[in-house]
Amino acid sequence: MDNLAFEMHEGATQHVSFVGKMNTIPRMEEKRQWSLLSVFLACLLACTVTTAVGVLILSLVYINNTQLHSEPELRATTIAILQKAVDPKFQFLNHLPKSKVFEFPGGAIQWARYRNNIKDYLSIEEEAFGRSLNSQRSQMTLGTLRIKSNGLRAPHWHFDANEHGYLVQGTAWIGVVDDGHVVTTYNVTAGQVIFFPKNTLHWIKNVGNEDCFFLLFFSTHDELQTLDVDDVFFSTPEDIASRSLKPEGGINFIRTFHKQKEDQGVNLPHNLAELVTNASYTQSPDNLVWRYFYDLKGSKEYRFPGGIIQLAQYWKNGSELSKNEKIFSTFLNQHQNTLALSTLKIYNNGLRQPHFHFNANEMGYVISGCAKVGIINTQGTTEFDIHIGDVIFFPIGTQHYIKSACDEDLLLILAFSTGDQLQTLDMDDYLQATADHILAQLFFKKQSEFKKIPKFKEDQAINLP
């Protein structure tokens, strides 16, 4: 304010001195000066009018560009803008079961993500969520991957993201090929975590009898860029493929490969039994496997009165980790923009009390149960219910709470956008830590009143009434 006032004052002074000078100039010169001045004023007027018209045109063009379908009439524009008013909760909530299902011969994929082209969103709610992920630079995208028995998520790699997966159901055999062409293969079962660093080639095959169901978190808020090995093969000129692979029969052998009509992203040939005669496979040694694998279900349980937390993350102090868990923790930390994964179980009526994270955005998926979720940011509080299949997003620093509301325990799978140890502060901890005379002054309340807020021996991160 001070600066603004100062500038205005200075401007006024200059104006006064200009007028003062004018008065001292001789008549002739004064006349010329006046005609110059009028030319100047005319130009100024013209300029102003042109600018105003320009701004008007620009703003009309802008309004037309920001609406979904460019109707020519201004009335239609207004309606479109009104229709775009979406409940603010959808910045933090995505009803994934309602989103588009991408079907493949061997399974299906669904997404909670940002899209470059807003026409790719099915609804304004989905758009609000995607925009929110992107505008917060969240480093988050979520996909669910269902693979039928014997189905295969084709070997592929991602240009722009690390991938962290949680297997909800089934048994899968994983292969990872790194830049040293070392291949690591291993089995995963429900409750375990997989990690594929950016650009490592990987495949996932369902080797059990039931469907595999994966939650896949990708460390990007842009569109995920992926290449499948079959697509790359068919895009490579035959002579180049022949020269590179030097097969028996040369280019004629290459020509015997035929691209399928349907996208084979998740594949399952009808005649698989005819094609595959020996499906035996090996498990790589632990020092390789545990770089890409973490037994989250089998890891240390952090128990609270109202629930349990488990974490697959980098630990600064790894002294409580097993030898294999240390391999995972160290390997995560060697890569940029990795994620931490976690399970959060909250018993019926339990409350994950208000807290926030210093160093990570958070994304979560509801596996079971239901809850009321609250988010407090600089705009105020947003509260909403979540059910199985819903995806939530808590931007870094926003205070959030989760209250389990169904008979069944709430189970959330959470991902955090940090390759460091997650940093968290709970409401009871920061209020206890704040001097009671500061609280007295802040809340207009006698200092002694704050003795009524008890300190507990046990951490109350997830508490019961």
Ligand X SMILES: *[C@@H]1O[C@H](CO)[C@@H](O)[C@H](O)[C@H]1NC(C)=O
Contact segment (CB under 6 A) with ligand X among 85-93, 278-286, 295-303, 360-368 equals 278-286
Nearest to ligand X of 305, 318 (CB atom): 318
Q: Closest distance between ligand X and the C-beta of residue 291, in Å?
A: 17
8 A C-beta contact, residue 311 and residue 422? yes
Contact segment (CB under 6 A) with ligand X among 295-303, 313-321, 396-404, 432-440 equals 313-321
CA 27 to chain centre: 73
Q: Rounded distance, CA 41 to CA 47, Å?
A: 10
Rg over CA atoms, the chain: 31
Nearest to ligand X of 70, 283 (CB atom): 283
8 A C-beta contact, residue 234 and residue 259? yes
Q: Closest distance between ligand X and the C-beta of residue 84, in Å?
A: 49
Nearest to ligand X of 248, 320 (CB atom): 320
* Separation in Å, CA 93 to CA 86, 136, 353, 372: 12, 14, 19, 12
- Residues in 413-452 at the binding interface with ligand X, rule: CB under 6 A: none
Q: Rounded distance, CA 76 to CA 71, Å?
A: 6
DSSP H or E stretch at residue 266: strand 266-267
Nearest to ligand X of 208, 354 (CB atom): 208
Q: Closest distance between ligand X and the C-beta of residue 276, in Å?
A: 10
Looking only at the bridges linking them, the beta strands covering 351-357 and 424-426 are antiparallel
- Residues in 197-216 at the binding interface with ligand X, rule: CB under 6 A: 207-208
Q: Closest distance between ligand X and the C-beta of residue 152, in Å?
A: 14
Nearest to ligand X of 114, 173 (CB atom): 173
Query: Rule CB under 6 A: is residue 123 a binding residue for ligand X?
Result: no
Q: Closest distance between ligand X and the C-beta of residue 298, in Å?
A: 15
Q: Closest distance between ligand X and the C-beta of residue 187, in Å?
A: 4
Candidate residues 248, 274, 320, 407; the one interacting with ligand X per rule CB under 6 A: 320
Q: Closest distance between ligand X and the C-beta of residue 171, in Å?
A: 5
Q: Closest distance between ligand X and the C-beta of residue 432, in Å?
A: 22
b (16+ CB within 10 A) / e for 206-233? bbbeebbbbbbbbbbbbbbebebebbee
Candidate residues 278, 433, 444, 457; the one interacting with ligand X per rule CB under 6 A: 278
Phi, psi angle pair for 383, to nearest 5°: -125, 140
Candidate residues 99, 132, 150, 171; the one interacting with ligand X per rule CB under 6 A: 171
Contact segment (CB under 6 A) with ligand X among 132-140, 147-155, 312-320, 448-456 equals 312-320
DSSP label at 211?
P
Q: Rounded distance, CA 280 to CA 232, Å?
A: 26
Q: Which of 291, 288, 299, 369 minimizes the C-alpha distance to 330?
A: 291
Amino acid at 266: V
Q: Rounded distance, CA 301 to CA 308, Å?
A: 6
Candidate residues 14, 24, 280, 448; the one interacting with ligand X per rule CB under 6 A: 280
Q: Rounded distance, CA 318 to CA 320, Å?
A: 6
Q: Which of 79, 40, 363 minimizes the C-alpha distance to 218?
A: 363
Nearest to ligand X of 271, 319 (CB atom): 319
Candidate residues 123, 187, 226, 324; the one interacting with ligand X per rule CB under 6 A: 187
Six-digit token pair at 208?
Answer: 């059990």
Q: Closest distance between ligand X and the C-beta of residue 315, in Å?
A: 9
Contact segment (CB under 6 A) with ligand X among 17-25, 37-45, 251-259, 316-324 equals 316-324
Q: Rounded distance, CA 193 to CA 212, Å?
A: 13
Query: Rule CB under 6 A: is residue 348 a binding residue for ligand X?
Result: no
Nearest to ligand X of 149, 236 (CB atom): 149
The three-point CA angle 290-293-294 to 5° equals 95
Q: Rounded distance, CA 401 to CA 351, Å?
A: 7
Candidate residues 3, 24, 35, 317; the one interacting with ligand X per rule CB under 6 A: 317
Six-digit token pair at 465?
Answer: 């009434």
Query: Rule CB under 6 A: is residue 322 a binding residue for ligand X?
Result: no
Total interface residues for ligand X by CB under 6 A: 11
Query: Rule CB under 6 A: is residue 283 a binding residue for ligand X?
Result: yes
Amino acid at 145: L
Question: Residues in the site for ligand X, rule: CB under 6 A?
Answer: 171, 173, 187, 207-208, 278, 280, 283, 317, 319-320
